Amino acid sequence: MIKSFSAVTREIDDVEVAVAEIKAALNLEKNLLKNSLGIVSCFSEFAETGALKAICEALPFDCVGATSCLCSTSEEVDQIIFTITVLTSDDCVFKTTLIPITEEEYKNSVASELSGLFEKACEKPKLFLSFFPLINTVSGDMILAEIEKATGGIPLFGTVAVDHHLDYKTAMTIFNGEAYREAVVLAAIYGNPKFSFELASLNEDKIRKQKGIITASNGNILIGVNGKAVLEYLEEIGMTKEDLSSGLGLIPLVVEYKGSTKPVARAVFAVTPEGYAVCGGEMPVGATVVIGRVDANDVLSTTGKVMTSFIEKDTTILTYSCLARYLALGANNYAEAEKVSEISGDNHYQFASSGGEICPLPNDKGGLTNFFHNFTIILCKLS
């Protein structure tokens, strides 16, 4: 069984005060079981001031996580905040690893680090909690594909680091107090943890009925649909290049992958000079694609619905929500996090905005397949 407890501090400059607040709130002597892991979500400046490092060094267990532009736990919601949720157990074991990510060596790095992790244990982990970097040269989908090869499809749940800058220059993953621009951080859970997943993306009434088939692509670059150039196809169904450009990051493509029982939302991040769409994940030839829309009402209604049905007493909920959902809320951009807090009630939870969401979906063989998502709120229930 896995139990949890959380702590928050807003003290970003006085490192000693920040450490004292976290340790007092966690009350480790009372709450720690045999094995523990800290999951951190925080504003990136906590790394710059040294508060992140000091807090993690003061704790007697590994800490993993990522920066975010909005975090919530213990009923507190804010941007400039440090949150930590401690998972603790007598019968589950937590092991962590750091994987450097470069365009040239990321495949070898993933294979090598995970091989080393597996060699240290007599069994494979049941679940990975995952924290990916937000970098231009290696996409989340590419990293996920290599981890899949190395692990044989062990479920992964997690987030992509993000921050408050337009260029995400301080978006970093976190490993034992150090912050990394180009590294994956994984926490493996061994034993017999109970876990389940859920997610929500777009309301069905905001997804167009016209379906297209991807006929040309290159990884996450969408080139052609229904045998036509992608912009020609979009104009045919009533969208222009200007519509797409003005709504970058807020107009989702909904993709139905072969073998999956649920569709996956994809963001369009850019339109190339050639007229191709740069998407937030793999766009495989043969997959079905439709256009969607997202607005503030959709964000709050989908979050409310999925949280209400998923919450369960005496469990821990980890939840990450796409930055696009945060942006869709406009001036009321705390509203989704506040709804998660309201519905969670006395249950332990951690919420953070995300640069991309990693969550399994049921497949047509009765198992789970790991997917990289956009426009989505994902939830993992642990006990």
Joined together, the tokens standing for residue 168 give: 């995400």
Give residue-wise pLDDT tens across range 222-241. Answer: 999 999 998 888 888 777 66
Joined together, the tokens standing for residue 36 give: 């523990």
Q: Which is more confidently placed, 115 or 295?
A: 115
CA separation, residue 335 to residues 250, 307, 313 (Å):
18, 14, 23
Domain 204-291 is of which CATH architecture?
Beta Barrel (2.40)
Residues of the chain with CATH 2.40.10: 204-291
What is the C-alpha R_g of the chain?
A: 20
Cβ-in-10-Å burial (0-12, 13-18, 19+) of 89 comes to buried
pLDDT score at 31? 97
> Please, which pLDDT band fits residue 248 given cuts at 50, 70 and 90?
low
Q: Nearest-CA neighbor of 66 among 49, 92, 85? A: 85
d(CA 60, CA 29): 11
CB 160 within 8 A of CB 134: yes
Question: What's the average model confidence in pLDDT over 322-330?
Answer: 90
pLDDT score at 245? 58
pLDDT score at 302? 94
Residue type, 149: K
Give residue-wise pLDDT tens across range 67-84. Answer: 999 999 977 899 999 999
Q: 311-338: buried (b, 16+ CB within 10 Å) or exposed (e) per residue?
A: beeebbbbbbbbbbbbebbeeebbbbbe
Give residue-wise pLDDT tens across range 30-49. Answer: 999 999 999 999 999 999 99
Q: Which of 1-15, 171-185, 208-222, 329-343 shows the lowest mean pLDDT across its residues?
A: 208-222
Residue type, 345: G
Residue 120 has pLDDT above 90, yes or no: no
